[in-house]
Amino acid sequence: MKIGILKEHQDGEKRVSISPNIAKQLIDKGFEILLEQDAGLNSSYKNSDYTDINATIENRETVFKDAQILVKINPFNEDDLKFVHKKHVLMSQLYYKSSPELIKAIAEKGATAFSMDAIPRISRAQDMDVLSSQSNLAGYKAVILGAYEMTKIFPLMMTAAGTITPSRVLIYGVGVAGLQAIATAKRLGAVVEATDIRSETKEQAESLGAKFISVENEGEESEGGYAKEASEEFEQKQKEAVNKSLFQADLVITTANIPGRKAPVLITEEQVLQMKNGALIIDLAATQGGNCEVSVLNQTIVKNGVKVIGTSIAPKSVSNNASELYAKNIYNFILHLTEDLNFKWDLEEEITDETLIVQNGIQRKK
């Protein structure tokens, strides 16, 4: 069975879906690896790193022509679909709930498609969960970006000229990215607070040293491991509970995403205008519309002295680590789906059922 690794062409994307280390492990299992030329360069992987482990370097058209499994990180686009036909099994983050036209186009090609972002949040799927592996790095990188962009340092520092008080950091969303952001900011010496609509995250946040801001007499449960959409009443109560900390914060990191839906607005423009001069907001949900009302993806907006950076949960700036983790997720996923180099097609099994969006041109999920 031949696996084709396609080059990512999305603006700013530096990751590759399968690293040389994982490619070697797949080859050792009997798979053949075809790499689109230079697909790994932006992740510091040379073509020779792949040929040294017996992968084959090909041009884009040949990879599509010869491979059965086609692997990407980002969704397949119109240019990709020109080369897709019914023998292909596609694997990438398809975001199928918010991309009905893409799923329809794949079905019209007669192909089969698995959506990596649809991996269920269950214990036996943890080593396939690309959202978690990538979010972990994003949470870390958001704090590092904050340290670079802030006009203050994180820790308490005693100097001959006087004492520097620690920075105050506020984290919205105590998921994988939020927890890593809490841990990183705390290690750097900041005073960290966190909030989440899911009451069960309180203990996790506090275990890492953050003060958890609760909404009195309220609490939402998660849905399949993800936060579900909160009521307007709850969102208003949360804003009121968090405002004091928000207006005192030096750095705010927002991480709240709901799969397949627009990101919830957690910080309004009115709230931004009440924050202190020089504060910084890093919005990791900007790809899905943003948690901050004024954020714009891949732009820095300054409002009344507050800097708002709109970015994404995709940790492109640490592409080497991110690629290795994504590749390991893909490796475990492929081994789960196959036996003796053939697909098992066990549609009664939860991981297969949840991720198989299109099968032989028939759309299974909407």
Mean pLDDT across the chain:
93
Dist. CA 338–CA 283, nearest whole Å: 38
> According to the model, what pLDDT value does residue 227 have?
56
How many whole angstroms separate alpha carbon 85 and alpha carbon 180? 41
**What integer pLDDT is reported at residue 225 of this predicted model?**
54
Count CB atoms within 10 A of the CB of residue 348: 6
Helix 130-149 to helix 319-337 angle, to the nearest 10 degrees?
170
How do residues 253-285 score in pLDDT, each as one tens digit?
999 988 768 899 999 999 999 999 999 999 999
Among 49, 80, 117, 129, the one annotated catalytic: 129
Torsion of CA 329, 136, 226, 266, to 10 degrees: -150
pLDDT at 202: 95
pLDDT reading at 26 higher than 60? yes
Average pLDDT over residues 282-298: 94
Q: Which of 313, 190, 220 is nearest to 259 (CA)?
A: 313
Higher pLDDT, 198 or 23: 23
pLDDT score of 332:
98
Quick one: average pLDDT of 53-60? 98
Report which secondary-structure segment, H or E, holds 308. Answer: strand 306-310
Predicted pLDDT of residue 83? 97
Mean per-residue pLDDT for 304-331?
94
> Contact, 257 vs 222, CB < 8 A?
no
- Residue 233 has what pLDDT? 73
**pLDDT (tens digit per residue) in 137-175:** 999 999 999 999 999 999 999 999 999 999 999 999 999
Residue 226 is among the residues annotated as catalytic for this protein: yes
Q: What is the pLDDT of residues 174-231, one digit of tens each?
A: 999 999 999 999 999 999 999 998 888 999 999 999 999 987 655 555 555 555 566 6
pLDDT at 237 over 80: no
Per-residue pLDDT at 100 exceeds 60: yes
Its pTM surpasses 0.75 = yes
Task: Name which of 36, 60, 70, 29 is nearest 50 in CA terms.
Answer: 36
Active-site residue flag, 140: no
Tell me how far apart the alpha carbons of residues 290 and 292 are, in angstroms, rounded to a whole number. 5
Q: What is the pLDDT of residue 106?
A: 98
Q: What is the pLDDT of residue 11?
A: 84
Please report the pLDDT score of residue 239 as a whole number. Answer: 79
- The rounded Cα 324 to chain-centroid distance in angstroms is 14
198: annotated active-site residue:
no
Q: Establish how many alpha carbons lie within 13 A of residue 3's alpha carbon, considering only the half-sphere containing its beta carbon.
A: 30
Percentage of the chain with pLDDT > 90? 85
Domains and CATH numbers, the chain: 2-118+319-361 (3.40.50.720), 135-314 (3.40.50.720)
Catalytic residue among 226, 248, 359, 363: 226
From the list 132, 180, 245, 312, the catalytic residue is 132
pLDDT of residue 40: 97
Angle at 164 between CA 160 and CA 169, to 5 degrees: 160
Joined together, the tokens standing for residue 206 give 């506090």
Annotated active-site residue 127? The verdict is: no
* pLDDT at residue 157, rounded to an integer: 95
